[in-house]
């Protein structure tokens, strides 16, 4: 599979000279299978970049939402294939105990918050439970992870390789020591042994101290989690909108100097890797 | 790698912070955790007792009604919460792991996660004044 990061920023899009290299668009990752099957993970503002790069031969796109916070859905209304009958589109997201996925999304995708109504989009909506499904060559497992509101992490497997995507995740929440027991750590089962883990690394240690419970991790926690889950490579993600390229360089350099048993790659918009 | 559902992970973490006794069982009725405030009532530290399989619980904790008459397992609050998926409450006596007999009130609720997944049950209990 080929994985491209189209939006790596967390919380809110941040364009400007300070976010050129890591990117200012919010969460969106494209995964293309060996047979050309296209998966898109999250629909942040980075989704607009995907539309312009999709091959004209693409007949179907499956879009998997981890959760419905604004920075993960704000690209939906601007994604051309959702308004076109030429491409079959399916949107998947976490089931809720109260309302269906489409009904929850319609709270945003309707006036006065947005001029286009959800029902005007030509797509199929799928409520996804914690389960495993097959989409083309991809075996996809969804599981709930620690973040406010029902939030999924996804494990995407093809040909024995595994990509795990946890853009918003606070596995350290409530732990008096972290990391500790794998069995009692959010996301550890899903991430176990993955070749690549794309994971939340939003905060510095100082920022986290003031934002415990907000659903995000520090770079150090992301590394500790990746090590605990025995993943091959950690790609940092969901960069804080206040963190400039320079600051992110510094944080990743600091982490590299401390030495880790996990390969850490800074998630930058537009970067592509093969599994 | 086995991992508990997030609902149980968060419940256990929350339980470790609150000052009321909490007992958590998984969907099969196995005891997976009780917190520090529960330890004096149950008569042993959780670190010493550890997790207890469902079929061992009734052998370790003898329960009866306030008059000393046996309570059928099916009427125990945790069993009701696990099997009927509804809250249940009862005044009962318990012989704890330290051999002491205590009168306790027990309230159990089912743990039903997202997508209606039955994940277990939790109980809080206290000695009436």
User: Do B3 and A150 make contact, defined as CB atoms within 8 angstroms?
Assistant: no
B1 pLDDT more than 80: no
3-state SS string over B80-108?
HHHHHCCCEEEEEEEECCCCCEEEEEEEE
Q: Name residue A98's beta-bridge partners.
A: none
Radius of gyration of chain B (CA): 14
pLDDT of residue B58: 86
- CA-based nearest distance B67→chain A, Å: 40
Contacts of B2 in chain A (CB under 8 A): 182-183, 189
Q: What is the pLDDT of residue B78?
A: 97
User: Do residue B114 and residue A96 have CB atoms under 8 angstroms apart?
Assistant: yes
On whether any CB of chain B is under 8 Å from the CB of A174, the answer is yes
- Cα separation, B29 vs B121, in Å, equals 8
pLDDT tens across the length of chain A (275 residues) = 999 999 999 999 999 999 999 999 999 999 999 999 999 999 999 999 998 888 888 999 999 999 999 999 999 999 989 888 889 999 999 998 888 999 999 999 999 999 989 888 889 999 999 999 999 999 999 999 999 999 999 999 999 999 999 999 999 999 989 998 999 999 999 999 999 999 999 999 999 999 999 999 999 999 999 999 999 999 999 999 999 999 999 999 999 999 888 999 999 999 999 99
Q: Which among B1, B5, B12 has the least Cβ separation from residue A144? A: B5
Which is it for the CA torsion A191, A194, A200, A204, positive or negative? positive
Q: Which pair of structure tokens corresponds to residue A188?
A: 């550890």
Which residue in this structure is represented by tokens 């200012």? A24
pLDDT at A56: 82
What is the Cα–Cα distance from B60 to B47, expressed in whole angstroms? 16
**CA neighbours closer than 13 Å in the CB half-sphere of residue B99:** 0
Whether the Cβ atoms of residue A153 and residue A140 lie closer than 8 Å to each other: no
- Alpha-carbon gap, residue A40 to A33, rounded angstroms: 11
Chain B: residue nearest A128 by CA?
Answer: B115
A158 is written with which tokens?
């093809």
Q: What does pTM read for this prediction?
A: 0.93
The closest alpha carbon to B106, from B83, B79, B67, B84, belongs to B79
Classify each residue of A185-215 as buried b or exposed e, where b means 16 or more C-beta atoms within 10 Å of its C-beta: bbbbbbbbebbbbbbbbbbbeeebeeeeebb
């Amino acid at each position: 599979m080929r994985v491209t990061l189209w939006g790596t920023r967390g919380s809110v899009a941040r364009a400007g000279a300070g976010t050129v290299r890591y990117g200012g668009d919010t969460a969106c990752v494209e995964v293309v299978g060996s047979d050309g099957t296209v998966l898109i993970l999250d629909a942040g503002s980075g989704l607009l970049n995907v539309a312009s790069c999709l091959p004209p031969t693409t007949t179907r796109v499956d879009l998997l939402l981890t959760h419905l916070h604004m920075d993960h859905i704000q690209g939906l209304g601007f994604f051309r294939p959702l308004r076109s009958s030429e491409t079959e589109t399916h949107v998947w997201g976490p089931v809720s105990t109260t309302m269906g996925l489409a009904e929850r999304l319609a709270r945003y995708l309707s006036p006065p918050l947005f001029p286009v109504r959800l029902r005007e989009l030509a797509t199929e909506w799928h409520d996804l439970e914690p389960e495993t499904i097959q989409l083309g060559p991809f075996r996809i497992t969804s599981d709930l992870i620690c973040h406010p509101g029902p939030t999924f992490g996804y494990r995407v497997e093809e040909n024995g390789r595994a990509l795990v995507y946890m853009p918003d995740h606070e596995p350290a929440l409530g732990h008096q020591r972290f990391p500790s027991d794998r069995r009692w750590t959010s996301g550890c089962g899903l991430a176990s042994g993955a070749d690549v883990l794309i994971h939340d690394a939003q905060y510095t240690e100082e920022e986290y101290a003031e934002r415990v419970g907000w659903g995000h991790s520090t770079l150090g926690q992301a590394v500790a989690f990746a090590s605990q889950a025995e993943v091959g490579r950690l790609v940092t993600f969901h960069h804080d909108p206040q963190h400039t390229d320079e600051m992110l360089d510094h944080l990743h350099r600091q982490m590299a100097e401390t030495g880790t048993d996990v390969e850490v790659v800074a998630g930058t918009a537009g970067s592509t890797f093969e599994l | 790698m086995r991992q508990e559902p997030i609902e149980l992970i968060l419940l256990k973490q929350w339980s470790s912070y609150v000052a009321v006794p909490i007992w958590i069982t998984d969907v099969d009725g196995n005891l997976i955790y009780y917190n520090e405030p529960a330890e004096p009532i149950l008569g042993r530290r959780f670190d010493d007792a550890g997790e207890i399989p469902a079929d061992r619980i009734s052998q370790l904790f003898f329960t009866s009604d306030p008059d000393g008459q046996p309570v059928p397992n099916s009427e125990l609050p945790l069993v009701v919460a696990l099997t009927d998926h509804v809250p249940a409450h009862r005044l009962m006596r318990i012989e704890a792991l330290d051999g002491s007999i205590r009168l306790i009130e027990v309230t159990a609720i089912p743990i039903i996660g997202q997508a209606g997944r039955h994940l277990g049950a939790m109980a809080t209990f206290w000695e009436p004044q």
